[in-house]
Structure 1
Amino acid sequence: MTSKKDFKQQMVPEWEKEYMDYEGLKKILKEMKSSKQTTHNRSLQHRLRLERAFRGLPLQGSNHQREGDIEDQVIEVKTLEQEGSKQLYKTDFHKLHEEGGEAEARFFQKLDEELNKVNAFYKDQVEAVNHEFNLLSKQLEALVALRVKVKSPDTELKQILSSPEETAGQNHQPKDSMIGTEVDPVQQTNRNIHHEEQAEAHNNYNRRDPLEILEHVKVDNSLQSPMSTFKKAFTDSSDNELSFSKEELRKIEEQLRLVFVEFYQKLLHLKDYSFMNLSEFSKIMKTYEKRTSRAASTAYMKVVDNSYLGSSDEVNFLLEKVESTFIRNFTHSNHKKGRKLLRQKTKTEKHSITFFTGFFSGCFVALLVATILRITSQQFIKKKKGTFYMENIFPLYSLFGYITLHMLMYAANTNFWKRYRVNYPFLFGFRAGTELDYREIFLLTSGHAVVVLLCFLINLQIEMNSRSQQYKTVTELVPLILVLLVLLIIFCPLNIIYRSSRFFFIRCLFRCICAPFLTVRFADFFLADQLTSQFQAFKSVELYICYYGLGEESRRQKKCHSRGIYNCMRQFYEEGDMNRAFNSLNYLSTITAMVFRTAFELKKGSSWKVLALVTSAIAVLQNTYWDIVKDWGLLQRRSKNPCLRDKLILPRRSVYLIAMVVDIALRISWMQLVFEMDWSPLHKVAIITVTSCLEIVRRGIWNFFRLENEYLNNVGNYRAFKSVPHPFSYYDDKEDKDD
């Protein structure tokens, strides 16, 4: 029997409210109060059963007529008038006059509501996948025709015309319901007729000449590049003739194959939905019998099994059809390969990840303690050489510190998203099984931190040791080597260090850069938001350009903080928010504040300081409002949760209130850099570093609630699967002429 935890884990998160409410029904059963009369009835029924057993009389369920006589005294399930094409069920409870009968009547009322809800949802989803399958059939037909035109093999054309896809449909024999109970023969006959009509219609459709199909088809290149978009703008759109190379045909095949895989996964989830709900109905009825000693399970489960949820075989039919079609058209009838592509494996936890994470974490703690002791033992910071080092060399390593902290926050985010069942792989668009969980992210974070801290400690040791001054120039190249190493790993084409995730990051970053020319997805917006919190990391990149490009690492002339390029890079950071301002005028206030702050740094003066302070305050207020109300969806009017929203994932509402206060406080901390205080160079570096780290922490908190709000919006629309665009679109000649 499936446990409560396993049942919840197997749910489609976006459909959670549409599953049978087992816990709600179980709560009603717990509320039933036993009385003396009920106890007497139970003992009497038990005695009668024992007497029948000794007399050799059949027990409940062995004689249909006797079973009906007994159970009809408890409940009678009626089928009401159909609402559209959906059947509604209502149970009359015949023991209402007995003590505790009201609670039992309420139980069956709730049970009927759940059965009607599940049936209606399942029927809507099955109708939707049937419609989607018809569209996929037309897409595949266009692909086959395009293959003929590009490759033009006579054997293939002959095979297409003589061996259409309907083979699986003709040989298909619908199966009984999953629970294995009795099915109405009239309903079974109707289903068989329906499948035969569907297969026959599909056969007639596929007997058309594939080459004629291309006259009504054009390609929707959703996987376009900036160049293709630019080219399309200057191309005559009325020219719909398909002329493709083999490479372009391969890309279309890959896209349509992905469509089939996602559709197959949706069908598997629908099949699981049916099986899980049928199991829960059976389980709750057995629990009811144990608590009340009333024999009502068989009668009610017969109705459940004959309902659309239990009797419909549409999903099984489509699963077989899609599988046979996919294997024949995309794997050259290789059944093993086809099933492997369709039935994607779930990720399994590896003990090696846990081991190396612990190993790297221990190394990091040891190196951190060694670094702190090394600095404090010789009072390095108090020396002039130490001040210069922390002001000029430390920012080179701080770049990796900001990246490490951001990765650590993202690992924490994925942990909490998984714990509270926020479907982040779907929201970000990860391919199934390729997303990184918090253990893998933390492994990368700890490994990255150990390498950086080790290099920093070696560099610091050489700087403090007068005997190793001849190696100083070489060691100062270490930060640059680290940057090149990180870039090499990110862009490495070899299948190592989570290549799919690295390439996913590169694609998102590329779409952020090419936003005017490419469709921007949620993952791209999310990444752009992360980059806006890494303004100090971008400043470190500018420092790298100055420090190594101008030869500062050898001359040590301390000119990188006074050259014009430094302030030019500040404008670049401001324009980083322009990406967000492009989608929302809300960020105009941030840009304005940054402009006045830059002018204040350049020109000084009390008037510029006041302008910088006022614009920064406006930006803080507006961005805080946007974070809490728009991105998090909180502070909603007429909400059942005061100052929050109706739907919340976290069990404690106080967490949301604390998060809002923390967000405001960390936003305000951003303003303190406006004030021109008499800071020493070392204190200024420390304050900037702490402020930048707080901004990254704020962004990590923002990430959780932002994705929670996005997830709840998806739940409201039942969007649980990736929407992969179809490569072909059909049009009618008459409509095309009108256009």
Structure 2
Amino acid sequence: MFALLSLHLFMYGCNLFMWKSTRINYNFIFDFQPATALSYRDAFLVCTSLMTAVVGSMVLHLILLSTGIFPRQADFIPGILLLCSVLLLICPLNVFYRPTRYCFLTVIRNIVCSPFYKVLMVDFFMADQLTSQIPLLRHMESAACYFLAGSFKTHRYETCKSGKQYRELAYVISFAPYYWRAMQCARRWFDECNIDHLANLGKYVSAMVAAGARLTYARQPSQLWLVIVLVTSFTATVYQLYWDFVKDWGVLNRKSKNAWLRDDLVLKNKGIYYGSIALNFILRVAWVETVMKFNIGMVESRLLDFFLASLEVIRRGHWNYYRLENEHLNNVGKFRAVKTVPLPFHETNSGR
């Protein structure tokens, strides 16, 4: 759970570095205050601090268990780490990036309460991040059950897997990010009367159907459910790929002066865009392995699941750059922002 979160923070730090290097005005797009917005160095620092705390806790846990010192109390360490993380997130003191923490909590509130809040760019951008972190949310469910149900005392992990309420909750958690995003699309359609938002809503509905079919197939493997999974997942993937490339990135334009891209490009090397299109396509279809269960030898299934979840986080970080690049260029075209950083001096009246 912490590793996936740290990886996402690392990818966000890479996004901030690339946006700044290519002069994409992300502070304007997200409506961030430049004085308190995170820089890429801050994002890397948070990421490194988090993983240092996690690894340190793991080492301490293993030392206490191997030496026999407080073996029962050692099992509290993961719970203490999780509790400290939550308390730090909501801490009212002006430490550890309080403006950023409170901005994050506000955005999460807006997402969870969709469609009752007006949808801003940062809101639906964050909601898109959550759709790539469903495995993390599932791990949060398991961690909460593990500690609240007392499983950490007996080490009986199956307690949180055999209960009906926990199995049903898995559907809710898998649907929630897509539902929130769909409600944001509905609110934007209501506010702007743009039919594209209803089409985007359909994309998230198709993703919910595909996610539900995969969960059901994992519990009731049969030929019928396999066919349903393949049909729903293929439909959702084609829908998502079309929206990624045409709507979010603005590429695959046949009439563009840059073949199958768009007229305005921030990066000079066109090959990067073609490579990014191919990479996004490959990572989008990674779900095939979870359905077909290819023979991978001795690789443990949980490790493979973590690897696939990490690939989705990497894909989202990769998607983020081009999504904001396209938004920045659209702003420039509509005269809502400047394409280049202004010069660090003011023009003076020479009296001529």
TM-score (norm 2): 0.86
In the alignment, which residue of structure 1 is the partner of 2:350?
none
What 5-or-longer segments of structure 2 have no aligned partner? Answer: 186-200, 339-352
- In structure 2, the residue matched to 1:524 is 123
**Equivalent position of 2:196 in the other structure:** none
Gap change, CA 1:554 and 1:678, over 3 Å in 2? farther
- What is aligned with 1:689? 306
Deviation at 1:609, TM superposition (A): 1.3
| Match among 580, 590, 595 for residue 181 of structure 2 | 580
Q: Deviations over 1:549-598 (max 9, x none)?
A: 21111112232233324422321212321222331212222111111112
* Equivalent residue, structure 2, for 1:550: 149
Counterparts of 1:552-701 in structure 2, within 5 Å, are 552-559=151-158, 560-572=160-172, 573-582=174-183, 583=185, 584-676=201-293, 683-701=300-318
Map of 2:27 onto structure 1: 425
Q: Which residue of 2 aligns with 1:507?
A: 106
Identity %: 35
- For residues 566 and 690 of structure 1, what CA distance do their matches in structure 2 show? 24
Cα displacement string for residues 159-196 of structure 1 (whole angstroms, at most 9, x for unaligned residues): xxxxxxxxxxxxxxxxxxxxxxxxxxxxxxxxxxxxxx
Contact kept, 8 Å, 1:402 with 1:693, in 2: the verdict is: yes
Match of 1:620, SS?
helix
Q: Deviations over 1:23-45 (max 9, x none)?
A: xxxxxxxxxxxxxxxxxxxxxxx
Q: CA deviation at 1:528?
A: 0.3
Counterpart Cα distance in 1 of 2:61 and 2:292 = 34
- Is the Cα contact below 8 Å between 1:617 and 1:671 reproduced in 2? no
2:62 is equivalent to residue 460 of structure 1: yes
AA aligned to 1:533 is: S
| One-letter identity of the residue aligned with 1:623 | Q
Number of the residue aligned with 1:498: 97
The one-letter code matched in structure 1 to 2:178 is D
Q: Please give the secondary structure, in 2, of the residue aligned with 1:610.
A: helix
Find the aligned partners of 2:210 and 2:63 in 1 and give their Cα distance.
41
1:320-362 Cα distance to aligned partner (Å, 9 max, x none): xxxxxxxxxxxxxxxxxxxxxxxxxxxxxxxxxxxxxxxxxxx
Q: Secondary structure at the match of 2:261?
A: coil
Higher radius of gyration, 1 or 2: 1
Alpha-carbon distance in structure 2 between the residues aligned to 1:720 and 1:643: 26
1:644-702 Cα deviation digits (max 9, x unpaired): 00111011111111111111111111231122567899711111000000000000000
Q: In structure 2, the residue corresponding to 1:494 is in which secondary structure?
A: coil
CA RMSD of aligned residues (A): 1.8
Listed one character per residue, the Cα deviations across residues 218-269 of structure 1 (whole Å, up to 9, x for unaligned) are xxxxxxxxxxxxxxxxxxxxxxxxxxxxxxxxxxxxxxxxxxxxxxxxxxxx
Structure 2 distance, partners of 1:565, 1:672, is 28
Is 1:407 the counterpart of 2:9? The answer is: yes
- Name 2:39's counterpart in structure 1: 437
SS of the residue 1:432 aligns to: coil
Distance 2:38 2:293 in 1: 43
Question: Equivalent residue of 1:433, what SS?
Answer: coil
Q: Please state how far the C-alpha of 1:506 moved relative to its aligned partner.
A: 1.0
Measured after TM superposition, the shift of residue 529 of structure 1 is 0.5
Look up the equivalent residue of 2:204 and give its one-letter code. Answer: Y
Aligned mates of 2:217, 2:145 — CA distance in 1: 23
Amino acid in structure 2 at the alignment position of 1:562? S
Query: Which residue identity does 2:62 align to in structure 1?
Result: L
Determine the C-alpha separation between the residues in 1 that align with 2:23 and 2:161: 47
2:154 matches 1:533: no
Answer yes or no: is the 8 Å Cα contact 1:567–1:598 preserved in 2.
no
SS of the residue 1:434 aligns to: coil
**Deviation digits for residues 444-472 of structure 1, max 9, x if unmatched?**
11111111111112223344x2x41x523
Q: Secondary structure at the match of 1:561?
A: helix
Residue identity opposite 1:700 in structure 2: G
Against the structure 1 CA distance between its residues 457 and 648, is the aligned structure 2 distance closer, same or farther, given a 3 Å change threshold? same
Deviation per CA, 1:56-86, whole angstroms, max 9, x where unpaired?
xxxxxxxxxxxxxxxxxxxxxxxxxxxxxxx
* 2:235 partner letter: I
Q: What letter corresponds to residue 640 of structure 1 in structure 2?
A: K
Q: Structure 1 702/711 Cα, relative in aligned 2: closer, same or farther at 3 Å?
A: same
Partner of 1:451: 53
| Aligned pairs (5 A) from 1:218-237 | none
Closer, same or farther: CA 527–691 of 1 in aligned 2, 3 Å: same
One-letter amino acid of the counterpart of residue 627, structure 1: D
Partner of 1:286: none
| Mapped contact 1:632–1:706 kept (Cα < 8 A) | yes
| Distance (whole Å) between structure 2 residues aligned to residue 496 and residue 482 of structure 1 | 18
Structure 1 residues 87-102: aligned runs within 5 Å = none
Structure 1 stretches lacking a partner, 5+ long: 1-398, 722-739
Name the residue aligned to 1:63.
Answer: none
Give the partner amino acid of 2:72.
Answer: T
Map 1:230-269 to 2 at 5 A.
none
Residues 680 and 481 (structure 1 numbering): CA distance in 2 closer, same or farther, change over 3 Å? farther
Q: Deviation of residue 541 (structure 1)? A: 0.8
The separation in 2 between residues aligned to 1:442 and 1:683, in whole angstroms, is 30
- Alpha carbons 1:417, 1:423 under 8 Å: kept: yes
**1:494/1:681 Cα in 2 relative to 1: closer, same or farther (>3 Å)?**
farther
- Secondary structure (helix, strand or coil) at the match of 1:641 reads coil
Alpha-carbon distance between aligned partners in 1 of 2:137 and 2:63, rounded to the nearest angstrom = 27
In structure 2, give the amino acid aligned to 1:686. Answer: L
Q: Please point out which of 310, 317, 334 is paired with 1:717.
A: 334
Q: CA deviation at 1:483?
A: 1.5
Paired residue total: 320
Distance in 1 (CA, whole Å) between partners of 2:165 and 2:271 is 46
> In 1, distance between residues paired with 2:80 and 2:10?
23
User: How many angstroms apart in 1 are the aligned matches of 2:141 and 2:232?
Assistant: 26
Q: Quick one: which amino acid aligns to residue 545 of structure 1?
A: A
